[in-house]
């Protein structure tokens, strides 16, 4: 089986609100698959359908070759879930959080003990085994949540904004551990608002907004396709952009975000523009990244 998750014409409505609008995608076995989009785009609704906690409105969704409509117990035993909000059990200390959670999967005592020790070791929490949950730092709680999701050796790991609220050090620790999981062949589906995170971790990405898929590709392909190699970023330029456009003998694409104007064009054309505006305004020519793609695809101020 090469497909870990397959969504066909998947929709989710809440009353009149369409959260997920007839989308199709597949997650391949062993890849890290990114689900990107602004708040309210439909990411979490999609995730909740995959994790069997929200029934589909229409369409079909297969996880690990099983239908989410009627094989929920089985699916849930094959997937691990790292939720967006911390739902560790506040009534139990670190190690017991894991032990009690592993029991829900029906693992036997020896196996539970072994898996818990392993996970505490891998996620560098062994010395906090008996600490109460409230004494842990944000980074530790995240690691514990990921450790908890892996106790039963799931073949698919679902991560809903795995590093939200973490400092850079803590994020790098989590990234390292997620990359290790990819090496071990664990399929990962992750949602994130951090484009550097998606660029670092994901093999393939879909960008969704208003419940629809806007783009699907590898991170580098997305950047090439929607932005190009470089971006010229100019502060306080929104009043001069029309003037610039008229002075050029080629067309450009640009977007204005707050007090910043981003100009997208081929490298040659960008150097022509830089030369032109150098006297008036300080532009910054930089490498295009996934954030540019995200803003171009989902930005409300999309202008051509």
Partner 1 sequence: MNLILSRPNISISSLYVWQRHRDVFFKIWKTESLGIGLEPWIVILAMGFGLGQFVTLDSGEKYVQFLAPGLMAMFPMFAAIFECGWGAFMRISMHGTYEAILNTPASIEDITTGDILWGTTRATLNATYILIVLLILNHWTDAVNSPYAIGIVFVAILQGFLFSSIAIAFAALARAMSHFGYLFNIIVMPMFWLSGGFFPINELPEWAQNIAWFLPLIHSVELNRALLNGNLTLNMIGDFFWLAIVAIVFYAIALVLMRRRLIV
Binding site for partner 1 (CB under 8 A): 48, 51, 53-55, 72-74, 76-77, 81, 83, 85-92, 96, 100-101, 103-106, 149
Give CA–CA dist 291/199, Å, rounded: 9
Least CB distance to partner 1 at residue 21 (A):
18
Q: Which is nearer to partner 1, 101 or 237 (CB)?
A: 101
Work out how close the CB of 155 gets to partner 1 at its nearest, in angstroms, rounded to a whole number.
15
Nearest to 237 by CA among 278, 268, 185: 278
Structure tokens at 18: 């369409």
For residue 5, how many other CB atoms are within 10 A of its CB? 24
Q: Which two tokens stand for residue 238?
A: 């929104």
Q: Compute the distance between CA of residue 251 and CA of residue 72 in angstroms, rounded to an integer.
A: 53
Q: Measured between alpha carbons, how far is 178 from 172 in angstroms, rounded to an integer?
A: 10
Task: In angstroms, give the least distance from the CB of 141 to partner 1.
Answer: 12
Helix ranges (DSSP H) in 67-215:
72-78, 94-103, 109-122, 138-149, 168-183, 195-201
Smallest distance, partner 1 to C-beta of residue 99, A? 8
Phi, psi (rounded to 5 degrees) for 54: -145, 120
- H/E segment holding residue 79: strand 79-82
When the beta carbons of 9 and 53 are compared against partner 1, the nearer one is 53
Residue number, 14 or 257, with CB nearest to partner 1: 14
**Residue closer to partner 1, measured from CB, 7 or 81:** 81
User: Shortest distance, CB of residue 55 to partner 1, whole angstroms?
Assistant: 7
Pick the closer one to partner 1 by CB: 2 or 73: 73
Fill in the DSSP letter of residue 248: -
Report, in Å, the least distance between residue 253 CB and partner 1.
39
Kindly tell me which of 73 and 300 has the beta carbon lying closer to partner 1: 73
């Amino acid at each position: 089986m090469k497909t870990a998750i397959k969504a066909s014409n998947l929709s989710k409505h809440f009353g009149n609100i369409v959260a997920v609008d007839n989308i199709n995608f597949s997650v391949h076995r062993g890849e890290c698959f990114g689900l990107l989009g602004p708040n309210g785009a439909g990411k979490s609704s999609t995730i909740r359908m995959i994790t069997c906690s929200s029934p589909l409105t229409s369409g079909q969704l297969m996880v690990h070759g099983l239908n989410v409509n009627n094989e929920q117990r089985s699916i849930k035993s094959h997937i691990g879930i790292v939720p967006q909000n911390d739902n560790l059990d506040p009534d139990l200390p670190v190690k017991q959080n894991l032990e009690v959670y592993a029991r829900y999967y029906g693992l036997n005592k020896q196996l539970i003990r072994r898996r818990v020790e392993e996970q505490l070791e891998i996620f560098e929490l062994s010395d906090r085994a008996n600490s109460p949950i409230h004494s842990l730092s944000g980074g530790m709680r995240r690691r514990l949540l990921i450790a908890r999701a892996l106790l039963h050796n799931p073949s698919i790991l679902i991560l809903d904004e795995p590093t939200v609220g973490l400092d850079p050090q803590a994020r790098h620790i989590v990234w390292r551990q997620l990359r290790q999981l990819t090496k071990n062949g664990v399929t990962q589906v992750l949602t994130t608002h951090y484009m550097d995170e998606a660029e670092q971790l994901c093999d393939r990405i879909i960008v969704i907004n208003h419940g629809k898929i806007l783009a699907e590709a590898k991170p580098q392909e997305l950047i090439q396709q929607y932005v190009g190699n470089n971006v010229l970023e100019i502060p306080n330029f929104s009043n001069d952009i029309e003037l610039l456009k008229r002075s050029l003998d080629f067309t450009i694409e640009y977007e204005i975000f707050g007090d910043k104007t981003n100009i997208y064009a081929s490298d040659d054309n960008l150097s022509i523009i830089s030369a032109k505006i150098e006297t008036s305004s300080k532009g910054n020519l930089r490498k295009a990244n996934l954030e540019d793609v995200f803003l171009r695809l989902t930005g409300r101020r999309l202008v051509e």
